[in-house]
Amino acid sequence: MPDFLYPYVVIGLLLSVVWWFYRVYRDPQNSTILPTLSFWGATVVYASVLYFTKFSVLYKLLLMLPRDFIAVVVVGLLANNLKSTRGYFITAVGVGVGGYFLYSNFIPQATQKYFGNNLPFMQEDTRRNRLAPNGELLFDIKNPAQLALIEAAVKPLGGQIRQAFSDIKHLDYSDLEEYYVLDIPENTDLEKVIKTLEATGAIDWVEQNEVISLSPLESNAQTARPNRKDYGINDPHLGKMWAFEAMNVSEYYNYLKTNGLKPQKKAKIAILDTGVDSEHEDIKGNYKSTKKKYDRDKQSHGTHCAGIASAVSNNGLGIASLNMNGEFTEITSIKVLSDQGWGTQDQIIQGIIEAADNGADVISMSLGGPSTDAGQRAYEEAIRYANQAGAIVVVAAGNSNENAIHHSPANCKGVITVSAIDQNLARADFSNFVNDVAMGIAAPGVEIFSTIPKNQYAAYSGTSMATPYTAGILGVMKAFKPALTTQEAYKILTKTGVDTKDTPKTGKLINPFQAIKSLQ
């Protein structure tokens, strides 16, 4: 909650400065104590919210606090020179509108652009899993008729209950309709609440409704190489796409072209992320909207993943994807993460359900984090639901350089988990390893050049980037064989894949040519 409130608290502080100058400095004889109390109250609230945000102490002291102090000084100097009521009114409106834009969008993106996420003082402590502020626990009820019993048990603790996933098209695919969210007041003893739930005897399962945050790693600009002639396409940034050489895409393209292969359908790849800029010049030709509110991306992560999965190829613009000539796949967006790059477990699960109900053939999730629960039954129910609907779910292994078995949803049954390799076909130094998950595979994930909002392009690194490459080839495979299951697809990717320098930890590197050839 403090992270969500932070931009608004800063704006409130700046507005209190404007009001103070208008009422106290401009006309001290007729002023009241309210503007002064407002300013100091806003300062106390600001300090409290800043203290409880998720960022490290060094980040707050070195970047956030100086930045906000400068904003207060600038607004104060401006207000000090105003002479009319109209001027103060225009300034207040400008602070409100401009402050929201700066603090909720521009400043976070600019900070990431110029500093990246690699500085130690900017890193979150990924071990401290936050819980959803509007619903900290997920539980599976044995019988909906017992809901009143549970409500009576948690009422003394201030708990409120709502159904977690009410909009489900196929009730016979899973037990998700039996899941509820429990919202409890802040600082409530979580263990006591869980014991209270379990003591009712009316639930099958309870788990924490955790907040998932992105951790992309931005790379430096790449030096373009001359385009290879054997791709046979005209996208100008091919020289920056080393991943195409690693995956032998030239042979893949040539195989599709010379054999005149036609798909049985155009497969749909759903990007569950921060949204997608649907008007991007290199995406819109392959994009199909699910909802208008998902068709924008202030953060850039989702748009970057969408371009990797299915950018328009051979259009004389930007980059290319495995979707040669746009015949095989289309992409859609399900926004499950906020503009600041975080989302709750129940939101992500709802996104999986929505993607499956809207006919997704592949669901690509470049998200996740360390899990404090012994299991993730709700995630696995959602994945089972998607599988039953005909979708393959592919998930990022994570960027913590550790075992992906400790990260969710990478450790869930039924998903293909993707590690990242670098230009030398070695495991990327940040990539989690996948030797203990059920279905692990590898794809390029270092300095991956792709689309970002407003017709721009950038190179990012992370298992977040490796995941949509895998989703892209899975989409093409589903286009040729719509009934392909997750297990069948994984078996093909593993059998046809290429060894890396650490195959046991990365899994096989995807080989699009051999994978498609095996389906013919």
Catalytic residue numbers, as ranges: 273, 301, 464
Contact assessment for residue 42 and residue 12, using Cβ atoms and an 8 Å cutoff: yes
Distance CA 390, CA 427 (A): 31
**Amino acid, single-letter form, for residue 289:** S
Distance CA 389, CA 255 (A): 31
- Percentages helix, strand, coil for the chain (3-state, rounded to 5) are 45, 15, 35
Cβ neighbours of residue 43 closer than 8 Å, sequence gap 6 or more: 13
- At residue 461, φ and ψ (nearest 5 deg) are -125, 150
Helix axes 2-20, 65-80, angle to 10 degrees: 20
Contact assessment for residue 467 and residue 396, using Cβ atoms and an 8 Å cutoff: yes
Which two structure tokens, joined as six digits, stand for 68?
Answer: 């906000």
Look up residue 61 and give its DSSP letter.
I
Distance CA 43, CA 39 (A): 6
Count of all residues that appear for the chain in the document: 520
Contact assessment for residue 288 and residue 268, using Cβ atoms and an 8 Å cutoff: yes
What distance lies between CA 485 and its chain's CA centroid?
Answer: 25
**Amino acid, single-letter form, for residue 337:** L
